[in-house]
A and B are shown apart, each in its own frame.
Chain A
Amino acid sequence: MSLEASEVVEVTQMVWTSVLGEEVALDPVTDDFFDAPLFTGCVTVSGAWEGAVTVGCSAELAKQVTAAMFELAPDAASIAEVADAMGEIANMIGGNIKALLPGPSLLSLPAVTQRESGIVVPGSELLLLQSFQYAGQPLRVLVHQRTARARPAAGKERPQ
């Protein structure tokens, strides 16, 4: 397993810059300074590597991102629009992280939770957690890897 925190930082900053521009930097931080992300987008990876990539952030930051993506005024975004935007952010970050992992594998469609303390990925362990701040707002990217015991037995994989 060769995924490095620096690669997750690079991928996340690349996605962030493409959505929000370069006026304010997305800075990696060592402290995970919030413990209850209010919006979390998640994609799973299945195949040669199995696990999940989740992107969590405060509701305020989620709305800011959504406003930028939909070209809306701040606070004008609906819940459906926030879910769409957070799902696409997770898809872009997850898709690029997947490319750094052993393949071939498949990327799931994104799922988004609201007002949850995070996403539990059963049968997996936390491989990497990278926190960021953007204009004082917290964001974090987590990579969970499915443990060997939880992987499907040989011959019992789901049909592709």
Chain B
Amino acid sequence: MKLLIVDDSKAMRMIVRKTLRQAGYANLDVAEAANGKEAFDLLMQGGADLVLSDWNMPEMTGIELLSKLNSDGVKVKFGFVTSEGTSEMRERAKQEGALFLIAKPFTVEAFQEALGPVMK
């Protein structure tokens, strides 16, 4: 499975990678992008099966990325990993078709719970 991690913090991208390994997903083909625009360009080039995206980023936010993917008809599984997990944001993410929202800081168990159904 090809997975794309989108976060403007390199430190957080590394923590997400580490947590994926700890959650039992060590054999994924993982790519990284530093904002929504970079992610969109990468998705147009090679695609991915699942996107794990931060919400608040420069250039293009995570929700703007998801909206653009939807409006351009790009089909990809999408979930948020963000420090902001208010009910309003969860609702908006759901409306745009996000499969889950993992709130930072997160646990290995939170990754397993969110990703388990998606990885089947």
Contacts and interface: CB of A to CB of B under 8 A. Distances in A.
Interface of A: 14-15, 17-19, 66, 69-71, 81, 84-85, 87-88, 91-92, 94-96, 98-99, 103-104, 107-109
A85 B104 CA distance: 14
B8 interface: yes
Nearest to B17: A71
| A-B residue pairs, 9 tightest by C-beta | A95-B83, A18-B105, A69-B11, A88-B9, A95-B84, A92-B83, A85-B11, A92-B104, A15-B105
B82 to A, nearest CB: 7
Contacts of A92: 83, 104-105
A94 B83 contact: yes
A95 B104 contact: yes
A121 to B, nearest CB: 19
B58 A109 contact: yes
A68 to B, nearest CB: 9
A95 B82 contact: yes
B107 interface: yes
A18 B16 CA distance: 12
Contacts of A71: 14, 18
A66 B11 contact: yes
Given A99-B85, A107-B56, A91 B9 contact: yes
Given A15-B105, A71-B14, A95-B104, A103 B86 contact: yes
A91 B15 CA distance: 15
A98 B105 contact: no
30 contacts: A15-B104, A17-B105, A18-B105, A18-B106, A18-B107, A66-B11, A69-B11, A69-B12, A69-B14, A70-B14, A71-B14, A84-B10, A84-B11, A85-B9, A85-B11, A88-B12, A91-B9, A91-B104, A94-B83, A95-B56, A95-B83, A95-B84, A99-B85, A103-B86, A103-B88, A104-B88, A107-B83, A107-B84, A109-B56, A109-B58
